[in-house]
A and B are shown apart, each in its own frame.
Chain A
Amino acid sequence: MRYLFALMLLLVPILGVWTFVEADRWQLWFPQNVSSFGGEIDGLFNLIMYMVAFTFIVTEVALAWFVFKYSANRPGKGVFTHGSHKLEMIWTAIPAVALLFIAFAQMETWAKVKFESNFPKDGKYTKEKPIAELWASQFDWRVRYPGDDGTLGTVDDLERSYEFVVPVNTDVVFHLRSRDVIHSFFVPEFRLKQDALPGHTIPVWFRAEKEGIYDLVCAELCGWGHYKMSGRMTVLSQADYDKRMADIKAEWFSNGKEQGQ
């Protein structure tokens, strides 16, 4: 019996590690990364994952070994102990050091992505002059582009729902806002997630390095329709982007003669 239980416990780390090894082959792993800082975030994820995996395997193997060794069927007498002060010191100190290490290791990346002082300053779009304003509301995304005057909040602002169009290989800064409750902007391919808070204007930046269509989802349970709060992040070449913006503008200032206007 003790062989059986020890084996079953050993299966946990073996199967657990196997799923991670096979995940990529079954396309259960991360989607491709297309943002400039996504690689660093993936690196941090992998670092933490290997640390956790090491701990997981060691503790699971130890567990299986203890079940095997100290089975009730074995002869011998139990020893009563108050524990080991030294051992407790060690298993407090090691995680503390590990957590401190993680805290320092991620700092640079976090600052790069989230600190406003590190936002792009020289590019076309800055914190003060964002590419657009992204409004989250129950339950859709609406993008408000500043229009010809380059200023948001004026009468010539263009607005489209659902689809956020940005140029490729450009530092993009946008303002994230919410009309009602807390939502969260999440584009898995960008490795970027940011909560939208009602009453706050939160600047967010990213640099997409590959053209394509990516899912934009709400990552904060925001009400009964949360599941349908999806959007589309379209990354276009600069020429296509200009063309698309011209289309949006033409549609906005339409005189109603075009079909469907």
Chain B
Amino acid sequence: MSLRLPLVAVSGLALWVSACQLDKDQKPARPVVHYSLSSATTALGDDGEPLIPESAQAGIAGSLEMLFGTPQAPIYQLLPEWKDEDFDPNWPQYPKGEDGSGEVDPAELVANNQMYWRRQLTAIDAGLWDRVFVQDFTPDLLADWKALCAQTPVEARNEEFKKAARELFENYYPKLSASAELYRQHCLHCHGPEGGGDGPTAPFLNPRPRDYRHGTFKFTAVGKAQPRREDLYRILDEGVTGTSMPSFRRFSQAQLHGLVDYVRLLSMRGMVERSLLATYKEEETLTSGDTIDAYAEVWEKWQKADSKVLTFEGEVPAPTAETIAHGRELFMDAKTGNCLSCHGPEGRGNGASAFAVNPESGKVVPTYKDDWGNEIIPRNLRLGIFRGGRRPIDIYRRIKYGIAGGPMPEAASSLTNEDIWHLVHYVGSLSERPQHKAAHVDHAADHGGDHASEKH
């Protein structure tokens, strides 16, 4: 009993002191963080010494920071010739594209913002100012909103203020630093701070998250070239079925475009780092000219993508029994399609050349590795899950251009576009549910009576 009072007093005092601390908003200043170099740059040799001397590593890190900024303040260094062209990648093209010529359609963006911020806009219209809730992952909007509120006291807020407030939300497009914040909250735990696909949750995932630093993205419309903005946007918007990448459409279009901006920055940063590393290994020295050259070269690659988009004229051809049958022939033919060597005669992804027996362990292991060094197996075409999309055009692009970074090759030049469409039709028919198959082609002839194993 005698101890109780002092204990209560002490804990009360401690509570009071900590409450005072909170009151003062004495948050510690955020430490300045830097992007790390990739493990290829910092690798150690057999003797335990770094392969690249630490001074050179510091040089590369410094160059990269000059070109791309830090995680808290990502910013593109401007090349001198861009100033003449009035080109500034740090500011989205959208505000310039009043005529719709920008990279993002302004009208669509406003409509989407109106939908995304509908609760805030309703609250603004009703004058319920304390209900206008802005999330902390849009720090720039939050700051703008606070500044706007600070200008006008509550009693002086008239129609004009409401209009200004509405415009703030309707025209929102995140700055690079705000997109970096969004990336940190929702992407970093898989894709890593530098986009190296090495976030804390990455080891638990199969397939592993994409490493942006190669500049290679699998599911694009441009084959092996660097992806267009639209390709990256589509991945964020639709997700990648059958993997751990979900759809992020819960964010507004503006936020997704902002994330695309940031992923491009991380990817370019990785590409410049790889290029500088290669130059150093070749020449044993690096000059500032090398850095600018590498930067300009990478930018050129990313800007070129639009010219390689794979499209076709007219409407998507509809499948018929004949086209499916012809597609099947090509699929099986070793000289033209030769799909079966990897995807297997039934399209189950168990083709002979994709697997081999490991002589040491005696186990069957995948033959192929992708560009990132992960083992890779062919897609099972009977599941109806296509990571790059199940649309006819998606499958067409996969077959025609192959898949960047993986063993899926480009279509042989002997295949005409029509042939590729027939292959698309056959591949599509493989994943139709058994009860519908008779309508198109009798698959039972392919492989005896194994229908029992694929009932849904």
Give 1 or 0 for each of A142-162: 1 = CB within 8 Å of chain B CB: 100000000111110001111
The residues of A that contact B230 with a CB separation of less than 8 Å are: 259-261
Answer yes or no: A224 CB below 8 A from chain B CBs: yes
Answer yes or no: A82 CB below 8 A from chain B CBs: no
In chain B, positions 230-286 with a C-beta closer than 8 Å to chain A are 230, 233-234, 237-239, 241, 244, 246-247, 249-250
Answer yes or no: A252 CB below 8 A from chain B CBs: yes
The residues of A that contact B436 with a CB separation of less than 8 Å are: 151, 153-154
Binding-face segment, B2-10, B313-321, B360-368: B313-321
For chain B, the count of residues having a C-beta within 8 Å of the partner chain is: 43
B429, A155: Cβ atoms closer than 8 Å: yes
Answer yes or no: A118 CB below 8 A from chain B CBs: no
The residues of A that contact B310 with a CB separation of less than 8 Å are: 256
Min C-beta distance of B221 to chain A, whole Å:
6
The residues of B that contact A261 with a CB separation of less than 8 Å are: 221, 230, 393
Min C-beta distance of B255 to chain A, whole Å:
14
Answer yes or no: A170 CB below 8 A from chain B CBs: no
A256, B312: Cβ atoms closer than 8 Å: yes
A255, B316: Cβ atoms closer than 8 Å: yes
CB < 8 Å neighbour of A254 from B238, B247, B391, B439: B391
Binding-face segment, A63-71, A94-102, A181-189, A226-234: A226-234
Answer yes or no: A209 CB below 8 A from chain B CBs: no
The residues of B that contact A253 with a CB separation of less than 8 Å are: 315-316, 391-393
CB < 8 Å neighbour of A213 from B115, B316, B431: B115
In chain A, positions 209-261 with a C-beta closer than 8 Å to chain B are 213, 224-225, 228-232, 251-257, 259-261
Give 1 or 0 for each of A118-154: 1 = CB within 8 Å of chain B CB: 0000000000000000000111111000000001111
Q: How far is the CA of A260 from the CA of B105 in the complex (A)?
A: 11
B239, A161: Cβ atoms closer than 8 Å: yes
Answer yes or no: A195 CB below 8 A from chain B CBs: no
Min C-beta distance of A133 to chain B, whole Å:
11
The residues of B that contact A152 with a CB separation of less than 8 Å are: 433
Min C-beta distance of B113 to chain A, whole Å:
14
Q: How far is the CA of A231 from the CA of B250 in the complex (A)?
A: 7
A140, B393: Cβ atoms closer than 8 Å: no
Given A140-B246, A260-B233, also A153-B433 (CB < 8 A)? yes
B246, A255: Cβ atoms closer than 8 Å: no
Q: How far is the CA of A134 from the CA of B273 in the complex (A)?
A: 43
A162, B314: Cβ atoms closer than 8 Å: no
The residues of A that contact B309 with a CB separation of less than 8 Å are: 256
Given A213-B115, A253-B392, A256-B393, also A232-B433 (CB < 8 A)? no
CB < 8 Å neighbour of A256 from B186, B221, B433: B221
Min C-beta distance of B112 to chain A, whole Å:
12
A225, B244: Cβ atoms closer than 8 Å: yes
B249, A163: Cβ atoms closer than 8 Å: yes
Count of inter-chain pairs, beta carbons less than 8 A: 91
Q: How far is the CA of A259 from the CA of B428 in the complex (A)?
A: 25
Min C-beta distance of A146 to chain B, whole Å:
11
The residues of B that contact A256 with a CB separation of less than 8 Å are: 221, 309-312, 393, 397
B186, A228: Cβ atoms closer than 8 Å: yes
Q: How far is the CA of A232 from the CA of B115 in the complex (A)?
A: 12
Give 1 or 0 for each of B296-312: 1 = CB within 8 Å of chain A CB: 00000000000001111
Q: How far is the CA of A256 from the CA of B221 in the complex (A)?
A: 8
Min C-beta distance of A204 to chain B, whole Å:
18
Answer yes or no: B390 CB below 8 A from chain A CBs: yes
Min C-beta distance of A248 to chain B, whole Å:
11
Given A255-B393, A257-B311, also A153-B435 (CB < 8 A)? yes
Given A138-B244, A161-B238, A229-B246, also A255-B312 (CB < 8 A)? yes
The residues of B that contact A154 with a CB separation of less than 8 Å are: 432-433, 436, 439
The residues of B that contact A141 with a CB separation of less than 8 Å are: 247
Answer yes or no: B118 CB below 8 A from chain A CBs: yes
Q: Please name the residue on chain A nearest to B436 by beta carbon.
A: A154
The residues of B that contact A161 with a CB separation of less than 8 Å are: 237-239, 241, 247, 249
Q: Which of A152, A251, A261 has the most C-beta atoms of chain B within 10 angstroms of its own C-beta?
A: A261
Answer yes or no: B201 CB below 8 A from chain A CBs: yes
Min C-beta distance of A161 to chain B, whole Å:
4
Give 1 or 0 for each of B385-415: 1 = CB within 8 Å of chain A CB: 0000011110001000000000000000000
The residues of B that contact A225 with a CB separation of less than 8 Å are: 244, 246
Q: How far is the CA of A198 from the CA of B126 in the complex (A)?
A: 45
In chain B, positions 100-151 with a C-beta closer than 8 Å to chain A are 105, 115, 118
The residues of A that contact B238 with a CB separation of less than 8 Å are: 160-161
The residues of A that contact B201 with a CB separation of less than 8 Å are: 224
Q: Please name the residue on chain B nearest to A254 by beta carbon.
A: B393
Q: Which of B247, B314, B315 has the most C-beta atoms of chain A within 10 angstroms of its own C-beta?
A: B247
B249, A162: Cβ atoms closer than 8 Å: yes
Min C-beta distance of B314 to chain A, whole Å:
7
Extra contacts, 12 of them, besides A232-B249, A260-B234 (Cβ < 8 A), are A142-B239, A142-B247, A153-B433, A162-B239, A162-B250, A201-B456, A213-B118, A228-B250, A255-B315, A257-B311, A260-B233, A261-B230
- Residues of chain A at the chain B interface (Cβ within 8 Å): 137-142, 151-155, 159-163, 201, 213, 224-225, 228-232, 251-257, 259-261
**Sampled A-B contacts (25; CB under 8 Å):** A139-B246, A140-B247, A142-B239, A152-B433, A153-B432, A154-B433, A155-B425, A155-B440, A161-B249, A163-B249, A201-B456, A213-B118, A225-B244, A228-B250, A253-B391, A253-B393, A255-B314, A255-B316, A255-B393, A256-B309, A256-B310, A256-B311, A259-B230, A260-B230, A260-B233
